[in-house]
């Protein structure tokens, strides 16, 4: 049986907002292949907390393939393999929810959680988070890079197999009495609800498509470097749309960092919460010169 470790990074709190995936294939007791891809989520709404974790911003994924396009080359392997993930409930939820949100019926998946493996084979008072287990085992990797995390996950499983004398990962499952979980084929209820007309995901998809007209009076509240609150407003002027910021640079007609960030899709300092409007703004301003 092929064994593949997988890890996802997400843009926000939604399980169908995958923005990166990493995979690591195991064969003959070693990692034999590694892949990682950036993904354009259905809506380019990145939560500041998520950005702080993985460092991916909307500008990094705007022109990347969608989830089904990225995963098409990997799904045949995943559907016939044993999948490993650290805190697998999260990653398997992302996999199924993201497929369902794009109208793709998820196949059946079988998986083991390396967090649960680590708790049984490498317990410690400090916990069994991916980086903590990897540090104890001497596994070197860049945490919260999807490809690196998948590699670390695979190495933890291999270390557990060596520790228990198990000849394979399925044998490890039997040795530590951790059953392999199989998820049946078919969409999750949550994915179906998210894809209903009028849902947040459906509205975001429409917002990320064609824009026949720009909603008037787009306003954004942003945080300055010293914590001050500024307002960025889209104005219709005779020479075309114009972005005005109330910061000192904006008052003097300079293209300030707040405007640049919004045009790049970076919402790290966005205070007003209207994340979807950032993508509307970007598409509206693309063919124009920003004042």
Higher pLDDT pick, 43 / 217: 43
Q: Which is more confident, 274 or 208?
A: 274
Q: In the predicted model, is pLDDT for residue 289 greater than 50?
A: no
Tens digits of per-residue pLDDT, 42-80?
A: 988 999 889 999 999 999 999 999 999 999 999 999 999
Q: Under DSSP, is residue 72 helix (H, G, I), strand (E, B) or coil?
A: coil
Q: Which region among 107-121, 129-143, 144-158, 243-257 has the lowest average model confidence (pLDDT)?
A: 243-257
Return the minimum-mean-pLDDT range out of 111-115, 136-140, 192-196, 269-273. Answer: 192-196
Asked if 101 and 95 touch (Cβ cutoff 8 Å), the reply is no
Higher model confidence: residue 234 or residue 168?
Answer: 168
Closest CA to 60 of 68, 71, 74, 50: 50
**What is the pTM for the complete model shown?**
0.68
Highest averaged pLDDT of the listed ranges 7-16, 201-210, 224-233, 239-248: 7-16
For the chain, which domains are there?
3-204 (3.30.420.10), 212-285 (no CATH)
């Amino acid at each position: 049986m092929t064994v593949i470790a997988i890890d996802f990074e997400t843009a926000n709190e939604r399980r169908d907002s995958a923005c990166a995936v990493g995979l690591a294939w195991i064969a003959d007791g070693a990692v034999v292949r590694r892949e990682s891809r950036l993904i354009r989520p259905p809506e380019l709404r990145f939560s500041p907390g998520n950005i702080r974790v993985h460092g991916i911003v909307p500008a990094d994924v705007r022109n990347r393939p969608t989830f089904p396009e990225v995963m098409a080359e990997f799904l045949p392997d995943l559907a016939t393999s044993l999948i490993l993930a650290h805190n697998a409930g999260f990653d398997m939820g992302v996999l199924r929810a993201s497929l369902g949100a794009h109208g793709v019926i998820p196949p059946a998946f079988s998986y083991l959680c390396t967090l649960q493996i680590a708790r049984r084979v490498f317990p410690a008072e400090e916990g069994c988070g991916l980086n903590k287990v990897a540090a104890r085992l001497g596994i070197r990797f860049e945490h919260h890079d999807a490809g690196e995390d998948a590699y670390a996950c695979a190495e933890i499983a291999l270390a557990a197999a060596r520790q228990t004398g198990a000849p394979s990962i399925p044998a490890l499952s039997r040795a530590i009495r951790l059953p392999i979980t199989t998820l049946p084929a078919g969409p999750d209820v949550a994915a179906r609800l998210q894809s209903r007309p009028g849902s947040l995901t459906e509205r975001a998809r429409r917002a990320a498509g064609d824009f026949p007209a720009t909603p008037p009076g787009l306003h954004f509240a942003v945080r300055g470097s010293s914590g001050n609150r500024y307002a960025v407003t889209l104005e219709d002027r005779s020479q075309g749309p114009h972005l005005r910021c109330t910061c000192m640079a904006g008052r003097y007609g300079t293209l300030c960092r707040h405007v640049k960030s919004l045009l790049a899709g970076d919402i790290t300092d966005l205070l007003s919460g209207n994340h979807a409007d950032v993508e509307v703004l970007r598409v509206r301003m693309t063919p124009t010169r920003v004042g």
